[in-house]
């Protein structure tokens, strides 16, 4: 009996960094500086360098990062923010928490990224920002949005939770004049902490300062409360983990890319029924997820599960069909994606042998449909 193949393998990643983490934890425990401090400052500096931006401001989680980035560019109560429906709920939650209104738009059926013309068509007088979500590990075409929004005053806040290390036309999220991006270090992301953590990325000194101020009770020094802020900061213990993982992230992303390439090859002869992931030209993809589209998705998922393969669905319900964000509108591409998408196991420690087992199991699960 061969062992289960998980969607992500956090234990294998931990094994690589265990010693470094223990040593770092000991250091933090000795100082009892648990929030902020030198480990956090060092991580912020290192991640900014890695991410090609001037500023990385650590916060408590990715949802807070989106919220604080939106507030920093001036989104407030009553404003409208354009959000693609094919994303994790957090993107829209961050908008709603400010008292702003998420206005949904469809995604591209193949890349599953925001439909830029649809986003531009949704602009109204109340629109204050658009959130392109860099889904599955590749960047949305931000430059097309920028071009379309020129002169409108509508800001772009990038949701970069799934794309640590990805670039588009050599640009990184949050880089460039006025740009700002939010990322998440939830354990399952390409760069994951051992609990919740996130960051806001920007080249803009003023935006970085505002995010840091908002995230620390509205002030940069103790008992200064210049803005109505929140408590959203990065913990020192999480920074230890993130620093250890960041040192390995370039290599881990190479391993992910190689695994994605191997899936492409293994699945080449079932493309009559399986739609393989589409990489937008100009993108350096980091394969947070390897998502295919298949017929009878739920039956295929169950068949894989029965063979010990941990596939996933990102995401089964587009936001406009959730209880929280229900609308009358329909978005046919997102609905098609939600019904057919399937994420195969992918992580830096996945072996070729495991990938061959996944591909073989998928082939068996699909054989019924091919003969129809
Ligand atoms: C994970 C994720 C978030 C939220 O991050 P948390 O750290 O879980 O709050 C936001 N957007 C997207 C697209 C995500 O995948």
Spell 24-39 as b/e; 16+ CB within 10 A means b. Answer: bbeebeeeeeeebbeb
In the prediction, which pLDDT does 20 show?
Answer: 98
What does the alpha-carbon distance between residue 354 and residue 370 come to, in Å, rounded to a whole number? 24
Distance 88 CA to ligand 1 centre (A): 6
Closest C-alpha residue for ligand 1 atom 2: 161
Tokens of 20: 């470094």
Which residues lie with the beta carbon below 6 Å from any ligand 1 atom?
61-63, 87-88, 90-91, 133, 159, 161-162, 184, 186, 196, 198
DSSP secondary structure of 78-143: T-EEEEESSS-THHHHHHHHTT-EEEEE-B-TTT-SB-HHHHHHT--TTEEEE--B-GGGS---HH
Residue 368: predicted pLDDT: 73
Distance (angstroms) between ligand 1 centre and the Cα of 187 equals 11
| pLDDT at residue 371 in the model | 61
pLDDT at 370 (0 to 100): 67
Ligand 1 site-directed mutation target among 162, 195, 289, 318, most atoms within 8 Å of CB: 162
369 alpha carbon – ligand 1 mean position (Å): 34
What angle, rounded to 10 degrees, do the helices at 10-31 and 38-51 form?
A: 140
Residue from 160, 186, 233 to probe ligand 1 pocket by mutation (most atoms less than 8 Å from CB): 186
Residue nearest (by alpha carbon) to ligand 1 atom 10: 90
Task: Show the tokens assigned to 65.
Answer: 């990062």
Kindly report, residue by residue over 102-147, the tens digit of the pLDDT: 999 999 999 999 999 999 999 999 999 999 999 999 999 999 999 9
Q: Which atom of ligand 1 is nearest to the CA of 188?
A: 1
In the predicted model, residues of the chain with pLDDT beneath 70 are 1, 369-372
CA 15 to ligand 1 centroid distance, Å: 25
Candidate from 66, 88, 198, 200 with most ligand 1 atoms within 8 A of CB, to mutate: 88
* Shortest-distance atom of ligand 1 to CA 133: 13
Residue whose CA is closest, atom 7 of ligand 1?
Answer: 62
Q: Quick: pLDDT tens for 332-350.
A: 999 999 999 999 999 999 9
């Amino acid at each position: 009996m061969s062992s289960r193949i998980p969607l992500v393998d956090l234990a294998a990643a931990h094994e690589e960094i265990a010693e470094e983490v223990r040593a770092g934890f000991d250091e933090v425990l000795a100082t009892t500086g648990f929030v902020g401090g030198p480990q956090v400052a060092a991580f912020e500096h290192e991640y900014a360098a890695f991410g090609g931006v001037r500023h990385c401001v650590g916060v408590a989680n990715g949802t807070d990062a989106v919220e604080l980035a939106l507030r920093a560019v001036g989104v407030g109560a009553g404003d409208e923010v354009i959000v693609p429906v094919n994303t994790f709920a957090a993107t829209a939650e961050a908008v709603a928490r400010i008292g702003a209104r998420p206005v949904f738009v469809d995604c591209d059926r193949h890349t599953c990224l925001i439909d830029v013309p649809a986003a531009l068509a949704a602009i109204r007088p109340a629109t204050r920002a658009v959130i392109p979500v860099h889904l599955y590990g590749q960047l949305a075409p931000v430059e097309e949005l920028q071009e379309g929004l020129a002169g409108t005053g509508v800001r772009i806040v990038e949701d970069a939770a799934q794309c640590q290390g990805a670039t588009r036309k050599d640009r990184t999220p949050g880089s460039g004049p006025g740009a700002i991006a939010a990322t998440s270090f939830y354990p399952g992301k390409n760069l994951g902490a051992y609990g919740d953590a996130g960051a806001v990325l920007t080249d803009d000194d003023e935006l970085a300062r505002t995010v840091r101020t908002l995230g620390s009770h509205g002030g940069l020094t103790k008992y200064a409360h210049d803005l109505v802020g929140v408590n959203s900061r990065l913990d020192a213990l999480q920074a230890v983990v993130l620093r250890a993982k960041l040192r390995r992230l370039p290599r881990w992303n190479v391993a992910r890319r190689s695994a994605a390439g191997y899936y492409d090859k293994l699945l080449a002869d079932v493309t009559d029924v399986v739609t393989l992931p589409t990489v937008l030209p100009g993108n350096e993809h980091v394969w947070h997820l390897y998502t295919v589209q298949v017929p009878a998705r739920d039956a295929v998922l169950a068949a894989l599960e029965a063979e010990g393969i941990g596939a996933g669905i990102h995401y089964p319900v587009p936001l406009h069909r959730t209880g929280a964000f229900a609308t009358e509108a329909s978005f046919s591409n997102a609905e098609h994606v939600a019904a057919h998408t399937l994420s195969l196991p992918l992580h830096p420690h996945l072996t070729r042998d495991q990938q061959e087992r996944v591909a073989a199991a998928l082939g068996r699960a699909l054989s019924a449909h091919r003969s129809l």
